[in-house]
Amino acid sequence: MNESYLIWGISFAVFAAIIIPYYLSFRKRQKLDLERKKEAEYIGIGAPRSQFPMVNNADCIGCGSCVDACPEHDVLGIVFGKAAVINGDRCVGHGYCELICPVGALKVGLGDVKQRPDIPVLSEFNETTVPGLFIAGELGGISLIRNAIAQGKLVVDRIAEINKIRSNPNTDFDLVIIGCGPAGLSASLTAMENHLSYVTIDQQDPGGTILQYPRRKLVMTQPVDIPLYGRLDKREYSKEHLLELWQNIIQNRKLNILPQTKLEEIRRHDSFFSITAGGKEITAGFVVLAMGRRGTPRKLGAVGEDRAKVMYQLIDAQSYEKMNLLVVGGGDSAAEAAIGLARQNGNIVHLSYRKPKLFRIKKKNEERINEMIKTGSIKPIFNSNVIEIKDKLALVAVDGKTVEIPNDYVFIFAGGIPPFDMLKEMGITFGGNYRELASV
Ligand SMILES: Cc1cc2nc3c(=O)[nH]c(=O)nc-3n(C[C@H](O)[C@H](O)[C@H](O)COP(=O)(O)OP(=O)(O)OC[C@H]3O[C@@H](n4cnc5c(N)ncnc54)[C@H](O)[C@@H]3O)c2cc1C
């Protein structure tokens, strides 16, 4: 009898030693993930930008392997025992969550595109509902560098075929490519490969979104063939390595790129397009939009905002030391920039925001920035608006007074203007089925 009590006792102790810690850590993780989900919804980063993990709750066993597999770390969580998208905005579509799920409960995709008003309707060759106007890369809804490169090639190969039958000898170029990220670069190389005349314009320098990755970020990609270059076959590259590779290709191939030139308007005529960019008009038989989905940085409208010292992104905080710096904005990007700059040696960082406090930022950023405000390493100027940016200072309106804030650089984080309205004005249809719409 005693022996059987002993066996039961030991079995129970072993069971409790394994199950209780597991249960407690499961509950703790779930509580944290639920808080993260609420926070992400509150600050408006819960919704995905492009493809995202779609979880089938009936099959999901809540093991969390998808959460751990995500290279961006912050996208998924476990809520009420099931995997859930928490920070959809951070999903770039790597798809490791789908590969690792032991029960096949998760798929990475766009969902029902008919329901998505932000996904342009495209043919199998990525032609929009405006004949001759194509989309390549993330703008079409699918992210990742390798997809952008593949689509840049797909659309220009298709254009080359059509151009054999109906080229327009009276236009400046066969083709204009808007955007020089991975999709635009691949489209430019494919145009060269097909002996098409082309020009590629970009509102910034070539590189696309990769330019905005944090310093030394590891870029994960799967083998991909770059036209006229060859295979990128490593699984990981540093951001800097990839940008250097881009630059070498551009120089060696002498690609026809106009940097710092923003697309303003595209108009379709009977047999060609006129494109207004950087104040000039260009005509072409075809257009490829490879503009990504991140849009154009929103400007403040302050006098002097076009000065070279004004920036809309912070790439490398470590290059700013012993300087006066003004950060403008109240979201996570502004908070992260102010924190990063204030950590460098000898900087004096002011943070100007038009509201009375920072409302919509992640808890982690809120705690860090409040600490730095307390210690004086970040000087907040709430209820303020930048009126003018001069050579060594900015004029900032605060509570009806104008104050002078000295600065060597100004970083503005006022969000981005997505290009969807512009695309609609061009006649591109969103949300729906190409076959149905093209036959109307
Ligand atoms: C933080 C982060 C990490 C990521 N990590 C990875 C990763 O590890 N691996 C991976 O494969 N993918 C990753 N991605 C996704 C990847 O960067 C994108 O899917 C890819 O860059 C899309 O390429 P694209 O050419 O379609 O667009 P983009 O790279 O966005 O390029 C668009 C270009 O168009 C230009 N443009 C926009 N509007 C205009 C205009 N009006 N006039 C002129 N030019 C214009 C822009 O300046 C930009 O250069 C990541 C994304 C982010 C944000």
Domain boundaries, the chain: 2-109, 133-295+418-438, 310-416
Instruction: Give the global pTM.
Output: 0.82
May I ask the CATH class of domain 2-109? alpha beta
pLDDT of residue 435: 63
User: Is it true that 2-109 and 133-295+418-438 share their CATH fold?
Assistant: no
CATH architecture type of domain 310-416: 3-Layer(bba) Sandwich (3.50)
Report yes or no: 320 and 409 within 8 Å, Cβ to Cβ. yes
Q: What is the residue with the minimal CA distance to atom 38 of ligand 1?
A: 291
Cβ-based neighbours of 50, under 8 Å, separated by 6 or more: 91, 92, 93, 110, 138, 141, 142, 143, 293
Task: Find out whether the beta carbon of 262 lies less than 6 Å from any atom of ligand 1.
Answer: yes
Q: What is d(CA 72, CA 9) in angstroms, rounded to the nearest whole number?
A: 45
Q: What is the residue with the minimal CA distance to atom 50 of ligand 1?
A: 92
Task: Find out whether the beta carbon of 179 lies less than 6 Å from any atom of ligand 1.
Answer: yes
Structure tokens at 409: 């650089």
Q: What is the residue with the minimal CA distance to atom 15 of ligand 1?
A: 144
Given its phi and psi angles, is residue 427 left (phi above 0), alpha (psi -120 to 50 degrees) or beta? left
Task: Find out whether the beta carbon of 275 lies less than 6 Å from any atom of ligand 1.
Answer: no
pLDDT of residue 368: 93
> What is the separation of C-alpha 215 from the centre of its chain, rounded to a whole number of angstroms?
15
Which residues in the chain land under pLDDT 50?
439-440
pLDDT of residue 440: 45
Q: What is d(CA 336, CA 317) in angstroms, rounded to the nearest whole number?
A: 10
Report yes or no: 365 and 327 within 8 Å, Cβ to Cβ. no
Q: What is d(CA 227, CA 230) in angstroms, rounded to the nearest whole number?
A: 6
- Rounded to 5 degrees, φ, ψ at 289 are -95, 115
- Ligand 1 centroid, distance to 129 Cα (angstroms): 23
pLDDT of residue 14: 82
pLDDT of residue 88: 85
Q: What is the residue with the minimal CA distance to atom 2 of ligand 1?
A: 213
Per the DSSP assignment, residues forming a β-bridge with 218 are 238
Query: Which of ligand 1's atoms lies nearest the C-alpha of 262?
Result: 42
Fold for domain 133-295+418-438? FAD/NAD(P)-binding domain (3.50.50)
- Ligand 1 centroid, distance to 221 Cα (angstroms): 14
